[in-house]
Amino acid sequence: MKLIIKQHFSFLIVFTMMFLSINSSVQAQNNWELQNETADIKLYTSEVQNSSLKRIKAEAIIHAPYEKVKGHLLDFKNYKKWYSNTVKSELLEERDQSNKYIYMYADAPWPISDRDNISLVSISYPSEDIINLDFEAKADFQPLVEDVVRVSYASGFWKLSKVDENTSRIDYEVHGDPGGSFPTWLKNYLNTDSPFNTLSGLKALAEEGL
């Protein structure tokens, strides 16, 4: 009987420690700090356990119909029209209608080396007025390009929602490492600067002519 009670007590201690650890991690990632904003775009950062690089969250209101914004999100070969510093983008492989490998090449500002990134994008539709694009870097999908730094880690999502007939909302989150040997503070700066410029570019393109 004492052995059974002891085993149950040990289990409760371990379970409680696991719960507190998970809960602390979730709270840390939900402690968002506003870093930049305009009338329609807000960008936040949050500390991530066991990482010196911050997680990024951005929200944007786009004054354009849902279908038009969705068209730009799914037009991978033309990401270069709105994605920050991107000069080349293409669809590498379509595993099925929901899972696609895309390639992007970024012309990084001096003195940082150019970057490229291969991502597996998984597309889902929780409802008829919402589309999710979850992405994860797949650095080994193709051989490295000479003198270009391949992004080895990036994980996040795009969520597009219809607000009304002429308004859409974008939610974006990512945690990643642009790679290379430059300081962490500079990586964190670039990790916040690029998403803000990216959302600004998507917003400008989607609202063009409206």
Q: At what angle do helices 184-207 and 66-74 cross, to 10 degrees?
A: 130
pTM: 0.81
Cα(86)–Cα(108) distance, rounded to whole angstroms? 9
Q: What is the pLDDT along the chain (210 residues), one digit of tens a residue?
A: 544 444 444 444 444 444 444 444 444 456 999 999 999 999 999 999 988 888 999 999 999 999 999 999 999 999 999 999 999 999 999 999 999 999 999 998 777 789 999 999 999 999 999 999 999 999 999 999 999 999 999 999 999 999 999 999 999 999 988 777 665 656 655 656 789 999 999 999 999 987
Region of residue 140 (left: phi > 0; alpha: psi -120 to 50; beta: else): alpha
| 34-207 has CATH 3.30.530.20 classification | yes
What is the residue extent of each domain of the chain?
A: 1-30, 34-207
DSSP-derived letter for residue 19 is: H
Place of tokens 């379970």: 15
